[in-house]
Structure 1
Amino acid sequence: MKKLLPLLFILLAAPGAQAQNPVTYPTYKEIVTHFFSRYMLTEGVSGPATVFEKRPTGWWVRLQDELYTEVAYYQLWKSEDGSYPPVDLLPAKGTRANQSAVDVLLNDTYRNAYYALEPYYGYTGWTEDVIRTFGNRNDLTDTLLYGLGNACSLYASDLLTNNSGLSDPEKMFRPDERTGLISAAELAVYREYRHKAIELLEQLSRRNPDFQTLVGPIRLKYWNEVVVAFWDVWEYYGEEEARKELKPDLYNAFYLDLAANQLESCPKNAILFSAGDTDTFPLLYMQVQKGFRPDVRLVNMNLYQIPHYANALRRPFFGAEPLPFGMSPEETADPRFEYVLLENSEEPLAVTDIPGHLEARYPAAYRHNFRFTFPSSSFSYNDHLTLKAGAGYLLRNDLLFLNLLRVNKEQRPVCFTLSHSDYMQAGDNMSITGLVLQLQYDKRYYYEAKDAEAVYDLLMKRLRTSPGIRLQASETRLVFPYTFGFMYLARTLADKGDKVRTEQLLDRYFSLFGEVLPASDPWNLYLVELYYRADAFAKGNALAARMVPGLEYSADRMDQATLTNLRELMEKYKQPAIIAKDRK
């Protein structure tokens, strides 16, 4: 029988933890650069598969092959004295010999952030080490307080699933095979860690509201953490207990408005696919806590890859109908469907042929496992809609989605938040419905509004907006759904020759967000042209003039390209030059 370790057990296992002082570790970038600039990788070792471990004893490196099998393990830096012990590898042939591996590792934003924000990271058991070392301390810096809260959060998540890739299999819960639910005792342990995470993140959000995390300001991380607790308890235990996790005053008016507007953009009983935290958790909160548009079934496409999450969607959810499935629970959980290999054929495979094909084809051997294969990387729904894989394989969530299309038969509308604006290269078949996109089956829409009147009514009359929007710099990207929705409806109206309403729509957008986004935002280039197409040249020129100062002296290549395009656009519409031709 596996042991359930309460939080108190870990804390009591750290005598003298309060007396420990954090050591200044070399940064992740410094340790990666140190290793690859000094040592040559042995044959069979994959540079991008190299794992660096930030442990209480210092930095370690785990060398692996392409199958992620360990080849060697070395300590690179000792926390006890700050020394770099020698490694039993040949010296590198030049400081840039392993540059491609360095680039891959250092360009991983997620990994970089975790090494920077966590005192320890990169190995199974790191969350326990952080809790044991820092859990009893009351003198933590903001970064250490966040690191402790995040470690408690991920410890709780790792009890349920190995989504992090670092869960301890001996400590993971094993839900009932029939119901998929955990026991009351397991729920209590999960809550202990999750609630501690919520407590610490809320504490930091009060202490330093400007503290930034991977998802944005600390307040957003705290709000989302509460909804994560709600969702996990719903998925793994049940509705009644899940409701107890929610709090009445989560999220500010901007997030609540955005979530409501995204839900209201969906047709009745729609299935809405999201991608990240911010287009998932506030929407769930609006549906359950506020009772707003509970008919929309929200599916996080990234989590859809996890069998337990996917199978939980077979249950109704606070007024939303179960998700259609074309695969059984057993097939959904089959490890052979984690990814399906694709052959490069120009002939699309009909979506309706997927089940028979999976039964008929013999699985191909790949990386010591057996995988199913499809003869094509494209999948036709009808003469107008063909979906294409972006790589040589389909992930489980892609396969589930294709089967959903097959059995749904256009009965329930299928929509996407804008983070999935070209999912499986189907962007041409999507139409704007407000702040989300709807998959269409009758022709290619290229994001234009299929029902322009309904979308115009939503954006001009029914949009939920709160005055005095104040966003931190990291939050301005969240205005993009509004930008996209207004821009593509304006394009639809301009294509129809409706200049009056094109201008009205653009005016409405800038009245709401003109003071929120920087004037140099590259999307404003398209809005300048839409003003020109509406014969509102004075407004287009005024917007262009506001863009120039932020672009003109920027060294950023994108800014310079935007400046060049803006000048060419003004020349095309024969507008007075405001940008010198020698500016590039």
Structure 2
Amino acid sequence: MGVAGIIRMLREYCKMQELPAAVLASVLCLFVPIQMAGQTWDDHDRSGRFVARDFGQNYLMTLQEKGNPIIYTNGDNDTFPLWYNQETEGFRTDARTCNLSYLQTDWYIDQMKRPAYDSPSLPITWDRVEYVEGQNEYIPIHTEMKAFIDSYFKQANELAAQGDTTILSLVHSIFGENPYELKEIINRWMLGKNDQLKELLKKTGKDIQLPLIPTDSIVMKVDKEAVRRSGMKIPEALGDSIPEYMTITLRDANGNPKRALYKSELMMLEMLANANWERPIYMAITVGSENHLGMGNHFMQEGLAYRFTPFDTDKLDSKIDSEKMYDNLMNKFKFGGIDKPGIYIDENVMRMCYTHRRIFTQLVGQLIKEGKKDKALAALDYAEKMIPAINVPYDWANGAFQMAESYYQLGQNEKANKIIDELANKSLEYMIWYLSLNDNQLAIASENFVYNASLLDAEVRLMEKYKSEELAKHYSTQLDQLYNEYVTRMKGK
């Protein structure tokens, strides 16, 4: 419509013939995309940037080299770069990327049950009829059934103590020797493969129907020799005392008991039960805790992924395998050119840059805790080199505060001051901007002002703790002045 209008205008104004007018209009209109390209080229120039490829490889390089590992992912940015690397670059085709969002569907479970490239099928033994669409979409958790089961075991054990083991044998044949063991729950309660249990539930006269899960605290027997062979780090606090059982407490992201498990969660438990620690299973660190099934206390971080372990890593204070993680970050990971000055970094790439800086700070914190200060300093300096502030500005969200604190702990006050100064100045700028608003606007933005004031307060305290007194005094004075102005203006609001 725009070109036709220009042609008409030119024809009337210049008295030109149809062809010359059309040609002239087309030439003029060519300036529109040229103008657009000229003004926005630098905002879309991806030359020299290989972040999607390299960050995808970093996920895969986190995984153990042996054992055909499995990694659970969930979103686009932690899935498609991995698939690209495996299917196009031929990188780590021995590993299997399993997207939990798709694992809710029968067609995707079909794919996971087939080999792919150099990766064998996933350890899923369910028949297709047991996971086909409409079947076992979710299974409710009925914790009241635990008392029902325990009552039978109590009576049977009392009789067995008197010499009559007949009832105990019958109870074992119905519920299994350990009724809360993961494989027993899958086979008897989820898939209904025990006719005696079905008959017993009918005879109770209650409306109890399978499938169901009779407890929110499941145990899994641990093959200790398989764990020793697996290559996972065994926490020093354990020595050689690997636990007999792993306890899985089914919880949501807020720590509340789950009321049901969806198909993807059932498949996760199925794989965990059958892998037997001989096939490493990982969870990408970018997968939300709502997908952890309450097993976060069994995770050990090795880079961009947590490894499932049979240990309670929270209680053992062993959340990071610093040796593997150091090797991954320092020797294997690639950074897609983000260290080049002026490289274009969009919002999605910036989020992944934040993630990479954060895992460096997590590694450094663990190394300092272990007394490995030389390695900690090397990792900090390498993070500064490969993820420079010129492209990825310091921010609380990307671990910059922890970087400054670590530099202080390592006696590198000049490097620490540089980071904390930039963070404090950013907090200060936000506070000044909020105070430039009128009183009504400031009242609406009150929470944001107080938040930035709290950040600046924490930054000042860190400076004071490590004797950066001149810097601390500079920001402390301004913090007091600005906060007093805020309090004065907000009186009565």
**Shorter-chain TM-score tier:** 0.5 to 0.7
What is the SS of the residue equivalent to 2:261?
strand
Is 1:258 the equivalent of 2:55? yes
Q: Give me the whole-angstrom Cα distance separating, in 2, the residues matched to 1:284 and 1:389.
A: 30
Out of 316, 331, 334, the residue aligned to residue 461 of structure 1 is: 331
What is the SS of the residue equivalent to 1:494?
helix
Residue 412 of structure 2 aligns with which residue? 536
Residue 284 of structure 1 aligns with which residue? 83
Residue 353 of structure 1 aligns with which residue? 184
Q: Give me the whole-angstrom Cα distance separating, in 1, the residues matched to 2:220 and 2:39.
A: 48
Q: Give me the whole-angstrom Cα distance separating, in 2, the residues matched to 1:501 and 1:512.
A: 16
How do residues 163-178 of structure 1 correspond to structure 2 at under 5 angstroms?
A: none
Q: Give me the whole-angstrom Cα distance separating, in 1, the residues matched to 2:463 and 2:214.
A: 49
Residue 267 of structure 2 aligns with which residue? 400
1:291–1:535 Cα change, 3 Å: same
Residue 165 of structure 1 aligns with which residue? none
Q: Give me the whole-angstrom Cα distance separating, in 1, the residues matched to 2:270 and 2:125.
A: 5
Residue 179 of structure 1 aligns with which residue? none
What is the SS of the residue equivalent to 2:393?
coil
Is 1:527 the equivalent of 2:403? yes
Larger Rg: 2
Q: Give me the whole-angstrom Cα distance separating, in 2, the residues matched to 1:537 and 1:526.
A: 13
1:297–1:456 Cα change, 3 Å: same
Q: Give me the whole-angstrom Cα distance separating, in 2, the residues matched to 1:342 and 1:219.
A: 52
Q: Give me the whole-angstrom Cα distance separating, in 2, the residues matched to 1:387 and 1:209.
A: 56
How do residues 279-318 of structure 1 correspond to structure 2 at under 5 angstroms?
A: 279-318=78-117
Out of 175, 197, 215, the residue aligned to residue 376 of structure 1 is: 215
Q: Give me the whole-angstrom Cα distance separating, in 2, the residues matched to 1:210 and 1:373.
A: 57
Q: Give me the whole-angstrom Cα distance separating, in 2, the residues matched to 1:551 and 1:306.
A: 46
Residue 285 of structure 2 aligns with which residue? 418
1:314–1:524 Cα change, 3 Å: same
Q: CA deviation at 1:399?
A: 0.8
Q: Give me the whole-angstrom Cα distance separating, in 2, the residues matched to 1:447 and 1:563.
A: 32
Q: CA deviation at 1:330?
A: 1.5
Q: CA deviation at 1:492?
A: 1.6
CA contact (8 A) 2:70 2:281 kept: yes
Q: Give me the whole-angstrom Cα distance separating, in 1, the residues matched to 2:422 and 2:62.
A: 31
What is the SS of the residue equivalent to 1:419?
coil
What is the SS of the residue equivalent to 2:83?
helix
Residue 463 of structure 2 aligns with which residue? 570
Q: CA deviation at 1:345?
A: 6.3
Residue 449 of structure 1 aligns with which residue? 320
What is the SS of the residue equivalent to 1:579?
helix
Amino acid at match of 1:456: Y
- How much is the aligned-residue C-alpha RMSD, in angstroms? 3.4
Q: CA deviation at 1:289?
A: 0.8
Is 1:504 the equivalent of 2:378? yes
What is the SS of the residue equivalent to 2:71?
strand
1:312–1:492 Cα change, 3 Å: same
CA contact (8 A) 1:520 1:551 kept: no
Q: Give me the whole-angstrom Cα distance separating, in 2, the residues matched to 1:209 and 1:219.
A: 12
CA contact (8 A) 1:341 1:371 kept: no
Cα distance per residue 1:107-151 (max 9 Å; x no partner)? xxxxxxxxxxxxxxxxxxxxxxxxxxxxxxxxxxxxxxxxxxxxx
Is 1:471 the equivalent of 2:339? no
Q: CA deviation at 1:561?
A: 3.9
Q: Give me the whole-angstrom Cα distance separating, in 1, the residues matched to 2:125 and 2:468.
A: 56
CA contact (8 A) 1:384 1:441 kept: yes
Question: Mean Cα displacement is larger for which, 382-391 or 392-401?
Answer: 382-391
Q: Give me the whole-angstrom Cα distance separating, in 2, the residues matched to 1:442 and 1:421.
A: 21
Q: CA deviation at 1:252?
A: 5.0
Out of 363, 375, 387, the residue aligned to residue 513 of structure 1 is: 387
Is 1:340 the equivalent of 2:135? no
Q: Give me the whole-angstrom Cα distance separating, in 2, the residues matched to 1:559 and 1:376.
A: 45
1:387–1:527 Cα change, 3 Å: farther
Q: Give me the whole-angstrom Cα distance separating, in 2, the residues matched to 1:305 and 1:209.
A: 45
Residue 121 of structure 2 aligns with which residue? 322
What is the SS of the residue equivalent to 2:265?
helix
What is the SS of the residue equivalent to 2:394?
coil
1:565–1:266 Cα change, 3 Å: same
How do residues 99-110 of structure 1 correspond to structure 2 at under 5 angstroms?
A: none
Q: CA deviation at 1:534?
A: 2.1
Q: CA deviation at 1:564?
A: 3.2
Q: CA deviation at 1:254?
A: 0.9
Out of 491, 496, 511, the residue aligned to residue 365 of structure 2 is: 491
Residue 248 of structure 2 aligns with which residue? 386
CA contact (8 A) 2:71 2:97 kept: yes
Q: Give me the whole-angstrom Cα distance separating, in 1, the residues matched to 2:308 and 2:38.
A: 42
Q: Give me the whole-angstrom Cα distance separating, in 2, the residues matched to 1:306 and 1:325.
A: 14
Amino acid at match of 2:263: R
Amino acid at match of 1:353: E
Q: Give the TM-score taking structure 2 as reference length.
A: 0.62
What is the SS of the residue equivalent to 1:497?
coil
Cα distance per residue 1:157-189 (max 9 Å; x no partner)? xxxxxxxxxxxxxxxxxxxxxxxxxxxxxxxxx
How do residues 189-204 of structure 1 correspond to structure 2 at under 5 angstroms?
A: none
Amino acid at match of 2:386: L
Q: Give the TM-score taking structure 1 as reference length.
A: 0.53
Can you give the 5+ residue segments of structure 1 that lack an aligned partner in the other structure? Answer: 1-202, 212-216, 221-248, 364-369
Q: Give me the whole-angstrom Cα distance separating, in 1, the residues matched to 2:213 and 2:465.
A: 48
Q: Give me the whole-angstrom Cα distance separating, in 1, the residues matched to 2:38 and 2:139.
A: 46
1:320–1:495 Cα change, 3 Å: same
Residue 475 of structure 2 aligns with which residue? 579
CA contact (8 A) 2:45 2:344 kept: no
The number of equivalent residue pairs is 340
Can you give the 5+ residue segments of structure 2 that lack an aligned partner in the other structure? Answer: 1-32, 147-178, 203-208, 222-244, 253-257, 435-447, 484-493
CA contact (8 A) 1:448 1:491 kept: no
Q: Give me the whole-angstrom Cα distance separating, in 1, the residues matched to 2:90 and 2:348.
A: 29
**Greater RCO, CA 8 A, separation 6+:** 2
Cα distance per residue 1:204-231 (max 9 Å; x no partner)? xx989979xxxxx9999xxxxxxxxxxx
Q: Give me the whole-angstrom Cα distance separating, in 2, the residues matched to 1:267 and 1:273.
A: 14
Percent of aligned pairs sharing the same letter: 21
